Each structure stands twice: as structure tokens, then as C-alpha cells.
């Protein structure tokens, strides 16, 4: 099983997919024949409303990859989505709203076909919501539940939850400056861990990614990965470190 789970598509003041495209190309290597894109998280892309936004999302991604000789098709244009999955060399899932993404995946009965293909060796890469859906469930997304999916279940490629775009709590000085008095991202994750004490959450900071290959994970990027468990002090895993699914360092 080979996965590339990216926190974010775009860094501030950088082109779309700018920071992570070299990483994606390295991950793909020679597997560039038939990339199947999932645009279902894109509910407001290019000024378009859902579901026309799927077309706009495809064109945005397709244009970037075409410049590098990589052909991309989209599952939303497939006559038979399951057949499209079965014929894919690479499955690529874009970011956006995780609830809409998961709702569409379940509506088209794609959980098991995608899971089977990836477990058999088909490459999987996703950013933001596309990383979240690689987890057992979507329950550590940052998104508003704009739709009610049939199930919160994801593809369950990794046995832990990812929180993409993980943000460290602001300092007291910044809170004073911006007048923030509400919950932090850490507060919300702590609530999740309180009611799900058996589950580990990986806080994936911006411009970072998890490269998963044959049961081993490598943290890519220049920021640490934050590992959070119930009633246990969080730990930080440094960039380029290799570790297993239990976060034991290799």
C-alpha cells in the first residue's frame, strides 16, 4: 500500500499545489497513465456552485498536471464510477469540504472498491479532505457539516485520525491582539479524544505530508507532526523521520 497524505494544497501567497507538486511527482514516478481525480470536496470552485464546481475543480487540477505530461480524468464524469476506480492507476482526492466528499463517496458506493484497489497496490494521494478520508472516519475534519453523509466512515487505510491544517494554539499576546476568546483547534481535538480515548490523532501541520509505503510512514515537510492521545502528553515527530502505524520511530 502506497499513500501520500498531504495537509494542504496551497501555502500563503504561493500557486495552487505549488509547494507539494514536486513531492507528488516524486510519489507518482512512472505511475502517470490514468490518474482518477475525486473532486467531490469542491463545492465552491472557480466561482461555480455545486455541482458545476466539480467541472471547475477538474479543470484547475487537470491544467496543472497537463503541464507536466500527466493525464487526469475525473470520477464525476464517469458513466460507471466503480468501473472508473477499477481501471485507475492512481486515485487522487482533492481538498475542500470533507462532509460533501464523504457523502458523495458513499452515495456512489465507492468505499470498498477504492479500499480494495489501494490495498492491492494502486497509488492513493490526497490533500486536506483527501487526507482526512484516508482515515477510519472523517471525525477530525475542520469542516462545517454542510450535508449529512450516509456514514462518517472513510477508506480506513491508516488506523489513526489525521487533523489536516493542524494549528498550534495562539500565544496569549496574539489572543489579546485579535480578541479571540473561543475554542482552539487543540480544545476540539481534546474533546474528540475525551469521548474516543482509544483513538490517536495526528496533527498534520501546513506544508507537511505523510508518505506511507508498506506499513512505514515518513514525515515530509519542514514542520513536526503532533501525535495526540487521551490523557497523555502530546509528542512531536520531526521531519524526515520514519515510523510505523503506532508511531514507533524506526
Among candidate residues 55, 89, 156, 165, the one labeled active-site is 165
pTM summary value: 0.94
Among candidate residues 143, 156, 176, 194, the one labeled active-site is 143
The question of whether 143 is a catalytic residue gets the answer yes
In the predicted structure, residue 29 carries a pLDDT above the cut 90: no
CA distance 189 to 83: 37
| pLDDT for the residue numbered 33 | 72
The question of whether 171 is a catalytic residue gets the answer no
Please give the average per-residue pLDDT across 74-80, as a whole number: 98
Please give the average per-residue pLDDT across 220-249, as a whole number: 97
**Comparing 104 with 46, which gets the higher pLDDT?**
104
Structural element, H or E, at residue 113? helix 111-119
The question of whether 106 is a catalytic residue gets the answer no
CA distance 135 to 124: 12
pLDDT in tens, 53-65: 999 999 999 999 9
Q: Is 178 exposed, middle or buried (0-12, 13-18, 19+ CB in 10 A)?
A: exposed
Among candidate residues 53, 74, 128, 131, the one labeled active-site is 128
pLDDT in tens, 189-234: 999 999 999 999 999 999 999 999 989 999 999 999 999 999 999 9
- Candidates 3.40.50.880, 3.90.480.20, 3.40.50.2300, 3.40.50.1820; CATH matching 2-243: 3.40.50.880
Amino acid at each position: 500500500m502506497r499513500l501520500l497524505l498531504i495537509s494542504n494544497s496551497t501555502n500563503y501567497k504561493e500557486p495552487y499545489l505549488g509547494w507539494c507538486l514536486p513531492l507528488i511527482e516524486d510519489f507518482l514516478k512512472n505511475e502517470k497513465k490514468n490518474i482518477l481525480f475525486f473532486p467531490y470536496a469542491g463545492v465552491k470552485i472557480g466561482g461555480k456552485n455545486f455541482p458545476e464546481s466539480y467541472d471547475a475543480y477538474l479543470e484547475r487540477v487537470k491544467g496543472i498536471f497537463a503541464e507536466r505530461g500527466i493525464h487526469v480524468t475525473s470520477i464525476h464524469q464517469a458513466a460507471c464510477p466503480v468501473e472508473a476506480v477499477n481501471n485507475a492507476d492512481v486515485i487522487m482526492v482533492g481538498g475542500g469540504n470533507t462532509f460533501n466528499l464523504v457523502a458523495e463517496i458513499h452515495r456512489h458506493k465507492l468505499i470498498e472498491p477504492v479500499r480494495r484497489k489501494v490495498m492491492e497496490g494502486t497509488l492513493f494521494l490526497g490533500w486536506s479532505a483527501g487526507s482526512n478520508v484516508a482515515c477510519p472516519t472523517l471525525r477530525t475534519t475542520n469542516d462545517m457539516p454542510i450535508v449529512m453523509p450516509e456514514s462518517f466512515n472513510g477508506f480506513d487505510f491508516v488506523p489513526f485520525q489525521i487533523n489536516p491544517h493542524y494549528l498550534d494554539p495562539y500565544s496569549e499576546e496574539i489572543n489579546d491582539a485579535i480578541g479571540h476568546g473561543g475554542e482552539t483547534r487543540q480544545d476540539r481535538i481534546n474533546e474528540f479524544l475525551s469521548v474516543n480515548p482509544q483513538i490517536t490523532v495526528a496533527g498534520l501541520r501546513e506544508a507537511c505530508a505523510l508518505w506511507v509505503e508498506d506499513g512505514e510512514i515518513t514525515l515530509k515537510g519542514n514542520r513536526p507532526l503532533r501525535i495526540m492521545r487521551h490523557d497523555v502528553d502530546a509528542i512531536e515527530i520531526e521531519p524526515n523521520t520514519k515510523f510505523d502505524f503506532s508511531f514507533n520511530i524506526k
